């Protein structure tokens, strides 16, 4: 099967400590196993034109060895949009791997590189098996919260949430945005969708238009920073699709991400959003 | 009941609520009708017939009531500053753990 | 067969104002605006699915009026084999009155009644037009 | 935290065939909103067929009373066909008389004091049934 290019990889390639060598090894393995292209950070410093094109072609994966984040800084300096970022020392901590002092990788460190590759491939597989026309999946698996006769759905995986009850589903450098079941159910029958403008540049927590029911107007607070590339035009005629399922056919907008790594600091995963929504549901008088 | 928080920061530490410009406001009360969170309060007998009574009821980052105001008499704190402030407090809290 | 009254079936939802609007529209069309051409039928009959009811609806012309996106009236009538000539929704009546308060599941406001009247007339006009065409042809 | 009991469900006919449909609908809402708020819950009957699992578990979760406009008893039939047996049944025509209940369905446009009295009578009977269910499960 032909595999499209997966990432453009910018590793730090630091040769002063093991973490840098892991970053380098990870980049090389990824390039061979997924048909990704590597940007050499040293050459990039002196030869812009060669890499600018490659950098723009595919989502950019930046691999930093340590917290000094040389590769990230280089990307920022060159004005590149980062789709995904890995910091080796943080990943090592997360996976409970102790990095040594030698610049040659030992057996554990090689296994660690393989594990990181596996994580990335799993993510890529997710992207490739998704709806081919838009790249976003059509259906998700939900955790259900029952309150009296009402059921509130929250997708278990792959979503980032805000405490303003909006979500982002991210693939590469694109995100789809919507509201959660809490918004949909507390508004009740949604009658109007006033979308954001295509091409508009929004920052995290700016508004992306609003949705309105007979009860209230809800301002859609963007979970992410980026440029609006699409809105769900079917909602203009049929805003009730948001009531039917706000995560699937009821999505609101799509954005190209421009600052996702930083946006993430203030985003919640399922484990953190779910209890917040539960509390809101319990306090909400239906 | 647990104390109200936003992004893990105590809500009363976050300064986010509408600011009424009384030179512009004509007390049409559209904002009051609009907001379901009882942020505003009307007092017909007072000099200022409309006040922000419950600033902490305001949904952080929501600016929707401002859009109902034809006279542009409602303003909000700077979103970037608020975001940075929340991040800082969270970092401090992490550091104290 | 063609002279048979068309069945106007509302969802009559009990949870929100939209259900009441569908019910009031159906009663207005069947009892007041088009008593000769239209009649209404309880949706609950259709839900229970008794054989007697099935005969009333299977293969017969129906107009459904729904209050929310779940479209109970349209779905249930379709399950029972009714022919849905037209589908309407209370939210469409509401959309022409953006920002107005229509009432509750038991009481309509003046704005709510206006919504009922507008949708009722729209449906009645359509019924009359179609009947008229048939009689002339 | 005290253990909370499931709310009592009222599944109401809202039929268009006769006055009983109008009265049962109004009685159910009055019970929910004014007489026993927070203790009772209802559901649109046609959702049993058009809705999902969420709706069909209703009578399993909530002890349910079927409120019928006429003796066709659609609410009970539908609930038991799709969800679970009901705890009790109340038929409006038993309370306000068969002839009255089976007269033409009424638009709320033409509601009179007399009709409101009928609604109140039905609500009183509903309350008795709810109290009985409550005392039975203590």
Residue B3 placed within a domain: no
The whole-angstrom separation of Cα A146 and Cα D62 is 13
How many degrees, rounded to 5, is the angle at CA A184 between CA B37 and CA A216?
40
Smallest CA–CA distance, residue D12 to chain C, in Å, is 8
Residue A2 placed within a domain: no
Band the pLDDT of A130: cuts 50, 70, 90: very low
Residue C51 exposed, middle or buried by CB count within 10 Å (0-12, 13-18, 19+): exposed
Q: What is the CA A141 to chain-centroid distance, rounded? A: 18
pLDDT at D7: 92
Residue C18 near chain A (CB below 8 Å): yes
Residues 6+ apart with CB under 8 A from A70: A12, A14, A41, A64
Residues A104 and A53 in one domain: yes
The three-class DSSP label of residue B60 is coil
Beta strand B40-42 pairing with B50-52: antiparallel
Residue A121 exposed, middle or buried by CB count within 10 Å (0-12, 13-18, 19+): middle
pLDDT at A124: 64
Q: For A188-268, where are the alpha helices, taking DSSP H only?
A: 234-237, 240-244, 260-263
Residues A29 and A123 in one domain: yes
Q: Do B2 and A216 touch (CB under 8 A)?
A: no
Which CATH number does the domain housing residue B66 bear? 3.30.70.20
Chains A and B touch (3+ CB pairs under 8 A): yes
pLDDT at A126: 58
Tokens representing C107 are: 């009481």
The three-class DSSP label of residue A165 is coil
What are the φ/ψ torsions at residue C110 (nearest 5 degrees)?
A: -55, -40
The whole-angstrom separation of Cα A100 and Cα A192 is 59
Above 90 in pLDDT, residue C118? Answer: yes
Q: What mean pLDDT do residues A54-79 have?
A: 85
Q: What mean pLDDT do residues D79-84 have?
A: 93
How big is chain D, counted in residues? 138
Band the pLDDT of A47: cuts 50, 70, 90: confident
The whole-angstrom separation of Cα A103 and Cα A14 is 10
Q: Cβ of C95: how many Cβ atoms within 10 Å?
A: 14
Above 60 in pLDDT, residue A2? Answer: no
DSSP A97: -
The three-class DSSP label of residue A229 is strand
pLDDT at A95: 86
Tokens representing A2 are: 């032909």
Residues A197 and A269 in one domain: yes
> Residues B77-96: pLDDT tens digits?
999 999 999 999 998 887 76
> How many folded domains does chain B comprise?
1
Residues A223 and A162 in one domain: yes
> How many folded domains does chain A comprise?
2
Band the pLDDT of A129: cuts 50, 70, 90: very low
Chains C and D touch (3+ CB pairs under 8 A): yes
DSSP C103: B
* Residue carrying the six token digits 């409970």: A96
The whole-angstrom separation of Cα A139 and Cα A247 is 8
Q: At what angle do helices D113-136 and D19-30 cross, to 10 degrees?
A: 60
> Residues D113-134: pLDDT tens digits?
999 999 999 999 999 999 999 9
Mean pLDDT for all residues in chain A? 87
Residue of C nearest to A193 (CA): C95
Q: What is the ipTM of this complex?
A: 0.82
Residue C90 exposed, middle or buried by CB count within 10 Å (0-12, 13-18, 19+): buried
Q: Which residues of C touch A189 (CB under 8 A)?
A: 16, 18, 67-69, 91
Residue A136 placed within a domain: no
Residues 6+ apart with CB under 8 A from B3: B10, B11
pTM greater than 0.90 (yes/no) = no
Above 50 in pLDDT, residue A133? Answer: no
The whole-angstrom separation of Cα C93 and Cα C116 is 7
Tokens representing C16 are: 């929100």
Band the pLDDT of A283: cuts 50, 70, 90: confident
- Give the CATH architecture of domain D8-129: 3-Layer(aba) Sandwich (3.40)
> Residues A179-238: pLDDT tens digits?
999 999 999 999 999 999 888 999 999 999 999 998 888 999 999 999 999 999 999 989
Band the pLDDT of D3: cuts 50, 70, 90: very low
Residue A133 placed within a domain: no
CATH of C6-129, one of 3.40.50, 3.30.200, 3.30.420, 3.30.410: 3.40.50
pLDDT at D2: 39
Q: Residue A190 sits in which domain range? A: 142-283
Residue A261 near chain B (CB below 8 Å): no
Q: Are A189 and A214 in contact, with CB atoms under 8 Å apart? A: yes
Q: What mean pLDDT do residues D32-39 have?
A: 93
pLDDT at C136: 59
pLDDT at A55: 77
B2, B7, B62: residue with CB nearest A219 = B62
Above 90 in pLDDT, residue A119? Answer: no
The three-class DSSP label of residue C25 is helix
The whole-angstrom separation of Cα C36 and Cα C30 is 8
Which CATH number does the domain housing residue A168 bear? 2.40.50.100
How many degrees, rounded to 5, is the angle at CA A64 between CA A61 and CA A70?
110
Q: What mean pLDDT do residues B25-48 have?
A: 92
- Nearest-Å Rg of the Cα atoms of chain B is 15
The whole-angstrom separation of Cα C103 and Cα B6 is 34
Residue B4 placed within a domain: no
* Minimum mean pLDDT range among A112-126, A257-271, B35-49, C73-87: A112-126
pLDDT at D1: 37
The whole-angstrom separation of Cα C21 and Cα C93 is 9
Domain ranges of chain D: 8-129
Residues A170 and A104 in one domain: no
Q: Which residue has the higher pLDDT, A47 or A180?
A: A180
Q: What is the CA A87 to chain-centroid distance, rounded? A: 16
Domain ranges of chain C: 6-129
How many degrees, rounded to 5, is the angle at CA C115 between CA C109 and CA C117?
105
pLDDT at A7: 83
pLDDT at A68: 86
Q: Which long-range contacts (CB under 8 A, 24 or more apart) does D49-56 make?
A: D49/C47, D49/C72, D49/C75, D49/C76, D49/C79, D49/D78, D49/D82, D50/C70, D50/C71, D50/C72, D50/C75, D50/C76, D51/C70, D51/C72, D54/A149, D54/A150, D54/A151, D55/A149, D55/D82, D55/D83, D56/D82, D56/D83
Q: Which of A189, A192, A216 would you mutate first to test chain C, the one with the most C CBs within 10 A?
A: A189
Residue D50 near chain C (CB below 8 Å): yes
Residue A137 placed within a domain: no
Q: Which residues of B touch A163 (CB under 8 A)?
A: 6-7, 60
Q: Are A88 and A65 in contact, with CB atoms under 8 Å apart? A: yes
Above 70 in pLDDT, residue A65? Answer: yes
Smallest CA–CA distance, residue B90 to chain A, in Å, is 10
Residue A207 near chain B (CB below 8 Å): yes
Q: At what angle do helices C110-136 and C17-27 cross, to 10 degrees?
A: 40
> Residues D90-104: pLDDT tens digits?
999 999 999 999 999
């Amino acid at each position: 099967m032909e595999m499209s290019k997966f990432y453009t990889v910018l590793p730090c390639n630091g040769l002063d400590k093991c973490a840098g060598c892991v970053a380098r090894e990870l980049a090389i393995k990824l390039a061979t196993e997924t048909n990704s292209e590597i940007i050499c950070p040293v050459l990039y410093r002196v030869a812009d034109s060669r890499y600018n094109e490659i950098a723009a072609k595919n989502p950019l994966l930046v691999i930093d060895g340590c917290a000094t984040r040389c590769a990230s800084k280089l990307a920022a300096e060159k004005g590149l949009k980062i789709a995904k970022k890995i910091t080796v020392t943080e990943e090592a901590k997360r996976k409970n791997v102790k990095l040594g002092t030698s610049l040659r990788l030992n057996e554990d460190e090689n296994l660690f590189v393989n594990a990181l590759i596996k994580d990335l491939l799993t993510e890529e597989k997710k992207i490739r098996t998704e709806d081919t026309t838009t790249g976003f999946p059509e259906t998700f698996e939900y955790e259900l919260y029952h309150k009296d006769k009402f059921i509130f759905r929250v997708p278990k995986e792959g979503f980032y949430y805000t405490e303003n009850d909006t979500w982002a589903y991210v693939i590469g450098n694109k995100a789809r945005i919507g509201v959660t079941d809490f918004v949909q159910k507390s508004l009740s029958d949604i009658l109007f969708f006033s979308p954001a403008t295509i091409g508009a540049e929004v920052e995290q927590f700016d508004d992306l238009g609003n949705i309105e029911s007979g009860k209230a107007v809800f301002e859609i607070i963007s979970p992410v920073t980026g440029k609006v590339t699409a809105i769900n035009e079917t909602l203009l005629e049929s805003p009730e699709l948001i009531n039917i399922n706000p995560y699937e056919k009821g999505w609101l907008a799509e954005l190209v991400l421009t600052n996702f790594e930083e946006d993430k600091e203030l985003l919640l995963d399922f484990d953190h959003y779910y209890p917040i929504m539960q509390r809101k549901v319990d306090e909400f008088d239906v | 009941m647990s104390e109200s928080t936003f992004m893990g920061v105590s809500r009363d530490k976050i300064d986010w609520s509408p600011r009424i410009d009384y030179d512009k406001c004509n007390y049409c009360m559209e904002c009051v009708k609009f907001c379901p969170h009882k942020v505003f309060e009307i007092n017909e007998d007072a000099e200022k017939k409309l006040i922000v009574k419950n600033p902490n009821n305001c949904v952080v980052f929501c600016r929707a009531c401002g859009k109902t105001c034809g006279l542009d008499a409602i303003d909000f704190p700077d979103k970037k500053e608020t975001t940075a402030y929340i991040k800082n407090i969270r970092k401090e809290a992490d550091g104290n753990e | 067969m063609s002279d048979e009254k068309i069945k106007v079936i509302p969802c009559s939802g009990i949870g929100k104002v939209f259900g009441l609007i569908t019910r009031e529209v159906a009663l207005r069309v069947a009892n007041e605006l088009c008593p000769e051409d239209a009649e209404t039928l309880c949706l609950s009959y259709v839900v229970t699915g008794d054989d007697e009811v099935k005969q009333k609806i299977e293969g017969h012309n129906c107009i459904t009026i729904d209050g929310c996106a779940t479209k109970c009236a349209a779905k249930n009538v379709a399950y029972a084999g009714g022919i849905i000539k037209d589908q309407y929704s209370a939210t469409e009546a509401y959309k022409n009155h953006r920002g107005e308060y229509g009432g509750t599941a038991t009481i309509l406001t003046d704005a709510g009644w206006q919504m009922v009247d507008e949708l009722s007339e729209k449906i009645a006009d359509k019924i009359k037009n179609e009947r008229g065409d048939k009689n002339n042809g | 935290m005290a253990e909370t009991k499931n709310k009592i469900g009222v599944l109401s006919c809202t039929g268009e065939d006769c006055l009983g449909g109008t009265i049962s609908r109004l009685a159910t809402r009055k019970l929910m909103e004014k007489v026993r708020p927070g203790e009772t819950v209802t559901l649109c009957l046609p959702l049993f067929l058009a809705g999902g699992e969420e709706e069909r578990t209703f009578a399993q979760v909530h002890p349910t009373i079927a409120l019928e406009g006429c003796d066709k008893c659609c609410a009970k039939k539908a609930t038991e066909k799709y969800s679970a047996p009901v705890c009790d049944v109340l038929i409006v025509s038993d309370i306000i008389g068969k002839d009255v209940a089976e007269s033409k369905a009424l638009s709320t446009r033409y509601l009179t004091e007399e009709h409101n009295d009928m609604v109140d009578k039905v609500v009183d009977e509903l309350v008795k049934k709810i109290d009985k269910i409550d005392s039975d499960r203590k």
